[in-house]
Each structure stands twice: as C-alpha cells, then as structure tokens.
Amino acid sequence: MTPVGALTLTTLPEHILRQIASHLDRSSAISLACTCSALQTYGETSAWTDLNLSLQRSYLARPLSYEWTKPLGGNRRYALRYIFTAFPQVSDPPEPGVIQSLALARLVGQLTDLLDSRPAWRKAVRLISYDIDRLCSREFGRLLETVSSTLISLELLPPDYPFNEYPTQGLFSPERLFRSLTFPLSSLRHLHLTINEQWEERIRMILPVVPNLRSLRLTPSMQYSAGWGQRVTFGPAESRIGWPTLPSLRHLEVDEMHSVFAGMLEELVAAAPLLHHAAFRDSGFEWDPEVDDPLLCALRRSTKLKYLGVSSLCAGRIEQQGGLHQLEQLSLEQQDASNELPQLLSVKIPAWLPNLRHLFLYPSLQSEQFVPWCWGSEWLSLPEPIKSIPSHILSQIHQSPHLQVIQFPELRWKEQTHPDPEYWGSNRPYRLHDRFILVRTYRNEQDGKVFTHCRSYSAQFRKLLGHRVFGADNVWEEHTDYDGDLVPAHILSAVYDQAGESTVWTKPGRNVALSAPAWEVLREWKALPRSVILAGEALRCSAAEMDGVEDACSHEEEHEYD
C-alpha cells in the first residue's frame, strides 16, 4: 500500500477536501486549509468563529499604528492596540485629549473598513471592549452598525479623565452617539456601561437601543474622576417618566451602589421575570434602605433569583421582612468582619436562607489588613491541627442544610458561582490564593446522629510587629464534631480509612454517605467513658500547646526580617 502524503492531498478536488475537513476538528481543519490553497476560504470561516475587539491604550512603541495580537492558548481574543506615535495635525486644538480621540477615530474607521472587506471577520465579531476615553467618535457608530447583527457583548469602559463634547470634530458622549443610531443592537446580550453625573440621560438613551439585553453591569465613575479638585456627584433623577425596561434581563450588577439609583433599578428588577443574578455592591455602606424599600420589595417578588450581592446592612433589612427563600448564593460586603484565625469562629451564617449553597464574604474597607494569629494565648502561632466547632456555629450549619462553601474572595471575579463539582474536587480552589471553608456533613440514618467536618484554607497571611514581618502560606484548619464532641486526629484518620477516603478532601457535600465500618469507629469511640475522652482531649491540647510555643519560636527565627 502506497502512503498518501500531503502532496497528494493538495491535488484532490475542492469538494473532496471540504468533505475531509468537515470530519476534522477545528484546529486540524485550519491546518489542512493552510496546506491546501483551495480551502483558504473554508479555513478563514472556521478560524474566525469568535472575534473579540479590545481597543486599548499602549505606551510601547510599535512599528505599526495598530496590529492584531494572536490569541494565547485557547482564548481567541484579538486586540487592536492603539499607540500614541502618530497623531493627526489639528489646528488650534482645544485640548490635547481631542488629538488622541481623533487618532483613535481614524483607527476605528480603518478597522471598520477592514471588517467590511473581510465578511468572515465581520460575521465573527462577538465582543467589543472600548476603554479609550469618554468620547465616542462617529466612526465608532459606524463600527457598531457594521457588526450589529453578530455583536453579543459591548463594554464601554472610559478611563477617569474628563473631556467635553466636540461635535465639529465628530466626538460625542456615549448617550449622544446612541441617540443618533438608526438601528437597534438586537443581538446584544451583555452591556457593561460606565455612568457619570449624567447617568440618567445615559441610561435613558442607551437601554432602548438594546431591547434583548440579558446582562447589564453599571460602573459608576470614581468620585474624584471629574478632574483636579472636582468631585463626581450623582444627583437624583429629574424626569418623572418611567425608566426603559429590559424584559429579557437575567443578570444585573452595580459596582458601586448609590441611593439615587434605587428607583431605576426597582423598575428594571420588576420588569425582569427571569432575573436570577442581582448584585448591588456597597463597600462604603452609603445605601441604607428601609425595610419596605421598593427595590427590596421587587427583589422579594423575583421568584427566579438565585444570587444576591449586597452589603450586610442591606441583608439585615431583607432578613427583617423575610422572603428570598429560593436564594442559593449570597455575597456580602461585611461591616464588622474579622480576619482572625481560625476563620470558622468569625463566620455568621444567615439562618433565613434555607437553600443557601455558597456564601461569599468580603471584609470591610476599615478592617485590619494584617491578620493577627492568636491560639493558646500565644501570638503568631499556627492554629491547632484540629479544633472543635462551637455550638452556635454548629447550629447555623445545621440550619443551612445545603451550605457547602464559605468563600472569602480577594477579588469579585474569583467568586465560584457556577456549580462545578470538578472545581471543588480538585486543587484549583486553593491555587487561586484565596480563603474559603469547605463543609461536609454525614448523617447516620439509623440513629440520626451527624458527623460534621469543616476544612478551612488560608492561602497567605502576613503580620507586622514593629520592624518584623511574620507570615505563613497554605494554612489548613480542621474542625470536627460528632454528637457534641471533637473528633481527635487518630479517630478521624481511622474513620476515613474505613470509608476508603482521604482526610484531606477538597470536595464539600451535605449528607454524604459513610460506610458502616466508619460509623462503627465513631460509635466505639463515643462509647468510651467520658473521663477517658476528656483525658485524651486534655493531653492533646497540652501537647498541641507546647508544639504551638515551639512553632512560634521557630517561626520567629525563620521569618524575621530586619
């Protein structure tokens, strides 16, 4: 048999090559198209399936005024990079920023012409991230019209530098540009919008252009972004007419909540029966709603709502009135959070959410940045290997029968909101340098007793004492309880040995099955005389206390920096 090589494939008819390529995966089909010139059009169609345009500033000089950057790994994000090397000549420009905006407008026009000449590229545009400045050029409107049939996500992220409108130069504010559009962005599903003092006009002008929007994220400008010595103030809405609504809205998020937004958000929530994700971030605790606030009432009527992100102050108002029993994920900006170890002892689990699965807790902005460790009245010593679960926390865990994860994210994008059992069953969670608590409970169907095991992880801790720095990485804490008593380490190891599992599990669960021999180990240990259990407990604590003092001394020797 004579092997068929690449040179033989190139001589095949085009229709046969298409049939061969149709049975290949995407990367192999593109490789075949690069080899066979007859499949060039087919290869371009396969390659440009997802084109994301990211208009960014770059201060690195490049030979071209703009260039396409190749994707990294499996992420097919192509970025148009804009640099400050070739500005157009403008006679008597009013501000230097206008020159930059005009240069950007020229590049956006070139990009639009490029997409017009490449239908495969134009049809593949899915996301545009526009973070250049606060002004939108006429060419940007032409770009939106070019990709309006395929554009799914649009991010308008201007930096905090104020410019005025210059219609004579073709530079407009986002609200004025969208008001001039003669076409709707009917395919758009996600919009990330930055709002400023003219937030009312911007909302009223842009939302009607995106009638099928499913995800809306509003980012208020920083309060000191109006210029030197100026302060951004968000005044109340002046118009009394109704706000534009989005019936298909499923995801609503406000990065910095202000009380003047409540009326607009209330109408958006009330008109979105499919809303399942709502987040009103308020790290500064500036929004203090009443118990019967219209926005809170609209949230209570949202039967599909599964995720809610609010401040602990707002959550207290919701708890007073009740409702939202269907919530599965709660994200709280804490007002009086504690960062001390052990983490489990400082957690307060809301008992008014019976279906809660994930709890995300953010510390207050006024909280201490460096974490003191205190165990056995000794500073800077690591936690005990195994600690008991206080009765009040144990009752909170039992009152939330579905709670599996309590997470302390460093950043909001680290919230693991999607139910992914493979995520928590791997080492990915603690590779993110995060803090979390995993909860596992085992219930014996015969006698109804519950064995509870909580594992707490802290990626990194640092403490300053004078000119010394102490620290530890990858700190795990174990909390156990069986019928009101702490399960010691040797019994815990025997239980998991009988169950055929590891004591260092990373996959949480509630009412997990436990084998009969494992339950027998717990029953035999529990049947021991109380004095024996307490004596073993005292011996363990004494030994652990001595180890803690030694660890503190060695820790001081190893981690002292003058």
pLDDT tens string 234-243: 888 888 888 9
Cα–Cα distance, 197 to 126 (Å, whole number): 30
pLDDT digits (tens, 9 = 90+) for 483-510: 888 998 889 999 999 999 888 888 899 9
Give the per-residue pLDDT at 118: 78
Split at pLDDT 50, 70, 90, the class of 297 is very high
pLDDT digits (tens, 9 = 90+) for 320-338: 888 889 999 999 988 666 6
pLDDT digits (tens, 9 = 90+) for 458-473: 776 666 666 666 666 6
Split at pLDDT 50, 70, 90, the class of 254 is very high
CA angle 33, 39, 41 (to 5 degrees): 105
* Least confident interval from 16-25, 163-172, 185-194: 163-172
**Positive or negative torsion for Cα 170, 176, 182, 188:** positive
Cα–Cα distance, 243 to 249 (Å, whole number): 14
Q: Which residue has the higher pLDDT, 475 or 438?
A: 438
The full DSSP string for 76-92 is -EEEEEEESS-PPP-SS
Give the per-residue pLDDT at 553: 42
Q: Which residue has the higher pLDDT, 288 or 231?
A: 288
* Least confident interval from 27-41, 69-83, 373-387: 69-83
Residue 56 predicted with pLDDT over 60: no
* Least confident interval from 1-15, 119-133, 266-280: 1-15
The residue type at 314:
C
Residue 105 predicted with pLDDT over 90: no
pLDDT more than 70, % of the chain: 62
pLDDT digits (tens, 9 = 90+) for 341-400: 667 777 888 888 999 999 998 876 555 544 444 444 444 444 557 888 988 999 999 999
Q: Which residue has the higher pLDDT, 386 or 62?
A: 386
Contacts of 1 (CB under 8 A, 6+ apart): none
Give the per-residue pLDDT at 271: 94
Cα–Cα distance, 121 to 139 (Å, whole number): 18
Give the per-residue pLDDT at 469: 63
* Least confident interval from 16-25, 191-200, 201-210: 16-25
Residue 80's DSSP bridge partners are 55, 68
Give the per-residue pLDDT at 429: 58
Q: Pick the closest to residue 40 from 10, 70, 69 (CA basis).
A: 10
Do the beta carbons of residue 466 and residue 379 sit within 8 Å? no
Q: Pick the closest to residue 509 from 397, 416, 410, 430 (CA basis).
A: 397
Do the beta carbons of residue 249 and residue 274 sit within 8 Å? yes
Contacts of 142 (CB under 8 A, 6+ apart): 109, 112
Q: In the block, which residue shows the tokens 């996301």?
A: 127
Do the beta carbons of residue 298 and residue 270 sit within 8 Å? yes
Give the per-residue pLDDT at 65: 36
Q: In the block, which residue shows the tokens 């005024």?
A: 65
Mean pLDDT for 31-37 is 70
Containing 474, the helix (H) or strand (E) segment is strand 468-482
Give the per-residue pLDDT at 416: 63
Give the per-residue pLDDT at 264: 94
Q: Which residue has the higher pLDDT, 199 or 472?
A: 199
* φ, ψ of residue 37 in degrees (nearest 5): -65, -25
Cα–Cα distance, 140 to 173 (Å, whole number): 12
Average pLDDT over the chain, rounded to an integer: 75
Give the per-residue pLDDT at 428: 60
Give the per-residue pLDDT at 373: 46
pTM: 0.76
Split at pLDDT 50, 70, 90, the class of 44 is low
Three-class secondary structure of residue 70 per DSSP: coil
Split at pLDDT 50, 70, 90, the class of 552 is very low
The separation between the first and the last C-alpha atoms of the chain, rounded to the nearest angstrom, is 75
